[in-house]
Amino acid sequence: MGGILNLKKTKIVCTIGPSVSNYEMLKKLVLSGMDVARLNFSHGTHSEHLKIINTIKEVSEDTNKKIGILLDTKGPDIRIGELEKTVHINCGNEYIFSVKKVKDVIPLQLDISPYLKINDKVLVDDGTLIFSVVGIENQEIHLRALNEGNLRPRVSINIPGDDYCPPAVTDNDILDIKFGVKNEVDFIALSFASTKVDVLKAREIIKEEKGEQWIISKIESNVGINNIDDLIEYSEGIMVARGDLGVEIDLSRIPSVQRSIIEKCNVKGRPVIVATQMLNSMIENPRPTRAEVEDIASAIYSGADAVMLSGETAIGKYPVESVEMMVKVAIETEKELKSRSEYGPSKRVTDVISSLVAKAVLLSDAKAIVTSTRSGYTACMVARHKLSVPTYGMTNNAATARKLSIVWGINEVYLEKNKGGISESVMHAATFLKKEGFEDKDLFIFTAGISNSKLPRTNLLEIREIGEVLSS
């Protein structure tokens, strides 16, 4: 029992890159606490990603742990084109940027002139260089440098504000999403998602390919913030992508925006990931800064389901140590995390059942929760209450079991042959808990659905004693 209670509940997403793409390193990440592997499709080929996907699945089988795979789309990424050499930018000087291949013009990969007007700010290389628009003519953008620095090839460009809102799903993204569905990834992280139209477009592609992947909308712009309610409603999850977001909006707004998005996701039972620079110093150093540790704790206290590592695992010198540090911080923080039993009224029976589960934990001496779930929705609704007792999502759907890897506090229980009725499911739950080390006298809470319609829903809650079930 001691080991059960010490399990971390916050999920950890690791970006897979050169540092950790082989079997040995991936296995170390899994054993250290990785729950979801993120593949960044801004880099690499399909053949390279397929090799990593197959290796992750092999490690998952060998370690007997369902590891989710998240495909992160490139999206409408604006970048500087190819440069023969680094260009030194002098403050106050004017420069011409264009998709035209003309001498003395800084090349762009995408024409952004239709989205700009005089005095707009253009941020380059994650805001390292700042320009102001002084003129636009025939796809040529005249920019005045507001600071000094070096301009490198292929660095990012950001246009703060609400005017730039291209479709989030590009032609390349369509090919990548189809590739992901074919190779059974679990999540599609939709970069620069701005409106529900973006989500519906991605959903259409997934359905055409006969997939059921969860869509995680990445909030990376002011437009995305303004449309957050729609994005939460139409997505299965949200990622607070603080990298581009910190360039698109004032940095001082990031903490309040992050907390607001997390709260909205918790209310709706949508998994929410906090990403970017959580342990950035550990790319080069074996120990994090105190501020980074506090950053992780703050995200967890606010209600985040998962925290994400990017460069720390993809290219860092200490990928395993980064995961181990995140696990330590999560476990310590969760000791002080308070459960939440109320989320207001709801007409959805499953939502009501999840609230009753939270109250039952407070009123009873239940030692565990087992929720039988087909799609994962019930598990998400229970998870939003941040309950202290071990919680298990029991399913006969392997894809759903992997999707639960992103949901706070839910440990997946995959029962391939769980096709019986409620009594058989309760028996499966009690048998599993007994094997996990729980005692016969321990109470557990069980939820499931008794459906009289074509739409399955959770509408049953039982509080049972393990020994009583096993002896029946």
Rounded Cα distance, 407 and 387, in Å: 13
Using alpha carbons, list the distances in angstroms from residue 442 to 101, 167, 238, 413. Answer: 72, 53, 36, 19
Q: What is the largest CA-CA distance in the chain?
A: 83
Contacts of 192 (CB under 8 A, 6+ apart): 75, 76, 77, 166, 168, 198, 218, 220, 221, 224, 244
Rounded Cα distance, 439 and 368, in Å: 11
Q: Which of 51, 79, 264, 340 is catalytic?
A: 79
Rounded Cα distance, 60 and 55, in Å: 8
Using alpha carbons, list the distances in angstroms from residue 395 to 181, 268, 398, 402, 414. Answer: 21, 22, 7, 10, 5
Name the phi and psi angles at 338, rounded to 5: -95, 135
Q: Which of 10, 15, 195, 276 is catalytic?
A: 276
Rounded Cα distance, 428 and 437, in Å: 15
Q: Which of 218, 270, 386, 403 is catalytic?
A: 218
Rounded Cα distance, 304 and 330, in Å: 11
CB 306 within 8 A of CB 15: no
Q: What is the DSSP string of 127-170?
A: TTEEEEEEEEETTEEEEEESS-EEEPTT-BEE--SSS----S--
CB 139 within 8 A of CB 107: no
In the residue annotation, 218 being an active-site residue is answered as yes
Rounded Cα distance, 104 and 242, in Å: 34
Rounded Cα distance, 333 and 356, in Å: 25
Rounded Cα distance, 112 and 141, in Å: 9
Using alpha carbons, list the distances in angstroms from residue 275 to 199, 219, 296, 446. Answer: 20, 10, 10, 33
Rounded Cα distance, 421 and 225, in Å: 44
Name the β-bridge partners of 80: 108
Q: Which of 11, 38, 367, 403 is catalytic?
A: 38
In the residue annotation, 276 being an active-site residue is answered as yes
Residues with a known catalytic role: 38, 79, 218, 276
